[in-house]
Amino acid sequence: MAAISASEFGAKTVLLEKGTKLGSKLMISGGGRCNVTNRLPLEKIVENIPGNGKFLYSAFSVFNNEDIIAYFEQMGIALKEEDHGRMFPVTNSAKSVVDTLVHHLQQNGVEMKLNSAVRTIDYSDEYHVMSMENGDTIQAKAIVVAVGGKSVPNTGSTGDGYPWAQKAGHTITKLYPTEVALTSNEPFIKKKLLQGISLRNVALTVLNKRNKPVVTHEMDMIFTHFGISGPATLRCSQFVVKQLWKQEAVTMEIDLLPKVHKDALFNNIRTYTKVHPKRTVKNMIKELTDAPERFVLLLFTRIELEEQLNVSHVSNEMINKLVHEIKHFSFAVHGSLSIEKAFVTGGGISTKEIVPNTMESKKMPRLFFCGEILDIHGYTGGYNITAALVTGRLAGMNAAFYQ
């Protein structure tokens, strides 16, 4: 996006790619369908970029998510809207997006150098000079660094850009995994009692040391052989990772029925016991919660309730225990997968050191940064790509002014 933008504004542009092909990360985004942006109102977009999303307000005043949609459709990529405002190509193929972008690079006369890894950058008043791994040097009046963070390194983002930024005087804030699966040493996880079980539309909450909620996300989740994953987990993960900087374990809670108040649930159970007195407790809870059997059995084990017990024998005290477990199924999380296995890198170049409406460095003239190398991160759902495309557009057009 930065290279197309720079070339559109008249700059002689070279795109350096250390890999063998362009757009590796775009190719795997949105499950290979490429979730190019999100159509929610800007306030909602910013809410879904908990990592410094407000920094993007200036950028959005120049180029925003609606502009991305118009820009892509103008390039011949027809888009469609799916749930939660997510925008996908009508083709359902990330390859069609990458191919169109590469075609526009070619049309605009951008010189594309593949297998061209940059080793170091030397800065000066007139030109910045890139020393390449193969021994060549390239000098440019302006440079846009768009090399990503440290997540999904097989796409090329291996943290190369941080030393270049530090050399220019920039601060790199603490790097950490976000949108990442979480690990747990709980016995039921270690014994793989729930491995492969999905829970639909549950509320997953992160609690702090004082057992107060930090954040809650109402989505699907899945139990794995090492802990938990799935959409709700990914959204909670950055808050867990930050809590784990201060404590050894973080308590999380699952509410199986977030739309049902605990008092209403108590009454539902009590009514059920009267209407179906001959049924078992196990069948009652499976019916009322729609939870998988293995999860229900674990829940019973935790409150020492016999699964084959007849519902007519369930006391009010036992119903209260059931309600609490259904609404507050708690467990400890002890870590996350590595930053390399995360979908998104948290941390990066401090946004305080970047001009918000141009993406130019405040530390080094004619040096620009865009995308995930900046300390900006969002949830999955088109928010990170939106931040990347918007900052890329601004960086490219403003770098071109130095031509």
d(CA 58, CA 64): 10
Model pLDDT, residue 403:
83
Q: β-strand 14-16 against 111-113: which pairing, if any?
A: parallel
Which residues, 6 or more positions from 81, have their beta carbon under 8 angstroms from its beta carbon?
Answer: 39, 87
Spell out the alpha helix ranges (H) of 161-224. Answer: 161-167, 187-190
The dihedral built from the CA positions of residue 165, 170, 176 and 178, taken in this order, carries a sign that is negative
- Which DSSP helix (H) or strand (E) runs through 281? helix 281-289
Specify whether 331 is located in the same domain as 258. yes
- Is residue 352 in some structural domain? yes
- Is residue 274 in some structural domain? yes
Specify whether 131 is located in the same domain as 224. no
- Is residue 322 in some structural domain? yes
Specify whether 324 is located in the same domain as 351. no
* pLDDT beyond 90 at 62: yes
Model pLDDT, residue 67:
98
Model pLDDT, residue 330:
98
Model pLDDT, residue 36:
96
d(CA 127, CA 139): 6
Specify whether 34 is located in the same domain as 153. yes
* pLDDT beyond 90 at 185: yes
- Is residue 203 in some structural domain? yes
Model pLDDT, residue 132:
97
Specify whether 311 is located in the same domain as 388. no
Residue finishing a domain among 336, 364, 392: 336
CATH number at residue 104: 3.50.50.60
- Is residue 244 in some structural domain? yes
Closest to 129 measured CA to CA, from 118, 140, 142: 140
- Is residue 27 in some structural domain? yes
Model pLDDT, residue 307:
85
Mean pLDDT of the chain: 96
Domain that residue 357 falls in:
2-176+346-400
Instruction: Name the more confident of 403 and 153.
Output: 153
DSSP state of 172: B
Specify whether 105 is located in the same domain as 38. yes
Specify whether 186 is located in the same domain as 233. yes
According to DSSP, the residues that pair with 87 across neighbouring strands are: 37, 81
Specify whether 315 is located in the same domain as 361. no
Residue finishing a domain among 292, 307, 336: 336
pLDDT digits 0-9 by tens, 289-348: 999 999 999 999 999 989 888 998 999 999 999 999 999 999 999 999 999 999 999 999
Residue finishing a domain among 336, 362, 391: 336
* pLDDT beyond 90 at 265: yes
User: pTM to 2 decimals?
Assistant: 0.94
Specify whether 31 is located in the same domain as 87. yes
Query: How many residues appear in the chain?
Result: 403
Specify whether 244 is located in the same domain as 171. no
- Is residue 109 in some structural domain? yes
Specify whether 244 is located in the same domain as 213. yes
Q: What is the mean pLDDT of residues 119-132?
A: 97
Specify whether 324 is located in the same domain as 263. yes
- Is residue 341 in some structural domain? no
Q: What is the mean pLDDT of residues 78-94?
A: 96
According to DSSP, the residues that pair with 172 across neighbouring strands are: 349
Model pLDDT, residue 367:
98
DSSP state of 253: E
- Total of domains in the chain: 2
d(CA 245, CA 32): 33
Report the percentage of the chain scoring pLDDT > 70.
100
What's the chain's Rg over C-alpha atoms? 25
